[in-house]
Structure 1
């Protein structure tokens, strides 16, 4: 994040060998602490603990993880398997791994040249992500102007989709920030995003540092905001978009889509084309990650808010069907109406880079 002292992710090469340096997002907003990752198991642990999170930056972590394994002489195939499975719903993670592995294998026999090729591909993906973010911001701003002429938007968002999840400004929150900088944002409504509070800890942090007018609300209060006519649009990100346009995003997104539909409010998804998985036919085929129950039953490690032995249902994501999505904003264009044909047409524009 431009307003933080350190980026979400960076490659470094100290004298004792290359490392991947991550901003530990579990420590925000209180502390900006970096994690220095020297091997793939350490990176997998950081991904699973959500020290690094968010669809685009997970793609970068996957690519750099392959480069790290290659540079340090680890088994690249095994590294790729571990990384790609660290968060199964997040398709960008697998995409980044696949890109770096393809570059590694194309370069030869596992030599230093192959390791350099994997790193070059990770760097290329980093640059592409930053460029994609800028293009999504431009497209998102234009779409908001079409959907809500007159400006002064009141936007509701869920989870965190800013610079903490990207090499650039992010996805949905980057659009909101651009609207704010243009004087078009009246109010940003920030869902707390339970149980891990990415909205309260991360989105509120980014909004505050950018000087946005924002209010934090518990997830269950969103309905009353819609009923009061206080929401002009919902903007969220995505972790996987199926071929039919079904959108997997942080759990709690689907109820917002239902509310938006009922109240006639646009529901807009902002995500790069790399988040679209045409191999997944529909929402029912999306594997939804299940998180540990203690994230629900404990307010922090060792401090329970539920009786001992309570069983918790804790899916990391939910799936919104395409008929509830007004538009999907990508770096290659806006998909609307959202269906298999319109989504495939946008994806075809990037076929050369996704092969």
Structure 2
């Protein structure tokens, strides 16, 4: 059974504090938007899909007990609070897309004269709650499409040869599993599907410095699931791809531009470069909500920069020389030319096909 990072019933929201993993499993109560903003900004909850879900549900639990005198006041409250939540972590696009969709819903309900304020609130709450089930269904579809693409690539000779049982070795970066989503996972969902098919020989995960999401979170999930898995340092990836017959790399995404350029956790770009050199297919697994067709290319993606302390300290212990300057971007952008395919809940697309394909799906 996969881990549960988000616990929600109407009026109640708890999130698993990911800063404490793997040493301690503790759930935090999120009582409203201010709590939601803080747990996202502090990375107590992380992963682009989970950020959007927790942000929107934090508004739902705040609205649930409130009584509104008018639809106008409810609409203004929704719009203001959602726009505030978007500022918690700007690189991940999922929160912005979810906010825009929910604001649009609020405007439609406001303009519908047959809907009173009580029904408007209830329908808005139902829409936020539906995000949980949809995310899990989307992740399962991503896992199925991704596993199929990797195995097909091996069969066609565009990936490393499979093992004697037809199973494959894959590499992933950062955390993209149940802890980063409502459940199942995106890139880790692909790994999970390979395991369910009996086709996972081994999965390698990077430590993912400086926040160690791979060592702390992905490794935690892989051990929990009893998958055959090995942790490697970020600096070992080139040696790993040369020595271990890896069939594919599969990572997540915080934002995908319309040309396929992809912003993901820092370190992703260099893995893609190394994968290209070794002829290893490099896949990005992300829901459609991570694709931002309004952005033409990766140069337009805002890259969040994090505090120096994340690099200079491990817990309370300083590991870097005092006085050294630090540069700590949380994400980098992998050019579309290095990406074999973008795995979504609606299929796998080449970066060059992405804009046209998504436009057709949305029309």
TM-score, normalised via structure 2 length: 0.89
Does the 8 Å contact 1:233/1:268 carry over to 2? yes
**Which residue of structure 1 lines up, in the alignment, with residue 305 of structure 2?**
290
Q: Deviations over 1:27-56 (max 9, x none)?
A: 112222111111211111100111111111
Equivalent in the alignment of 1:344: 355
SS of equivalent residue, structure 1 residue 289: coil
Which residue pairs with 1:310 in the alignment?
324
Shift in CA distance, 274/242, structure 1 to aligned 2, threshold 3 Å? same
Alignment partners' CA distance in 2, 1:293 and 1:78: 31
Flag as ranges the 4+ runs of structure 1 deviating above 4 A: none
- Whether 1:279 aligns to 2:294 is yes
Structure 2 partner of 1:40:
33
Q: Which runs of 5+ in 1 are unaligned?
A: none
**What is the aligned partner in structure 2 of residue 27 from structure 1?**
20
- CA deviations over 1:292-350 (Å, ceiling 9, x no partner): 110001111x32112333321111100000000000111111102x12xx112331244
How many residues are matched? Answer: 341
Aligned alpha-carbon RMSD (Å): 1.8
- Alignment partner for residue 175 of structure 2, among 148, 160, 176? 160
> 1:311-326 alignment to 2 at 5 Å?
311-326=325-340
1:101 paired residue number: 103
Aligned to 2:119: 113
**CA distance, structure 2, for counterparts of residue 34 and residue 350 of structure 1:** 38
* SS of residue paired to 1:165: coil
For 2:242 and 2:225, how far apart are their aligned partners in 1?
Answer: 29
Distance 1:349 1:97, change over 3 A: same
Q: Is 2:190 aligned against 1:175?
A: yes
Relative contact order (C-alpha < 8 Å, sep 6+): which is higher? Answer: 2
Structure 1 residues 63, 100: CA separation in 2 closer, same or farther (over 3 Å shift)?
Answer: farther
Cα displacement (A) at 1:162: 0.9
Say if 2:228 is the partner of 1:230: no
Indicate conservation of the 8 Å contact 1:29/1:201, yes or no. yes
Write the distance in 2 (CA, Å) between the matches of 1:208 and 1:25.
16
Q: CA deviation at 1:115?
A: 2.4
Q: Match of 1:210?
A: 225
Measured against aligned partners, the alpha-carbon deviations of 1:5-24 in whole angstroms (never above 9, x if no partner) come to xx2223334xxxx2321111
What is the distance in 2 between the residues matched to 1:93 and 1:51? 16
Q: Which moved more, 1:43-52 or 1:228-237?
A: 228-237
Write the distance in 1 (CA, Å) between the matches of 2:276 and 2:252: 18
2:46 paired with 1:68? no
Distance 1:131 1:349 in 2: 21
Query: How big is the shift at 1:82?
Result: 1.5
Tell me which structure has the larger Cα radius of gyration.
Answer: 2
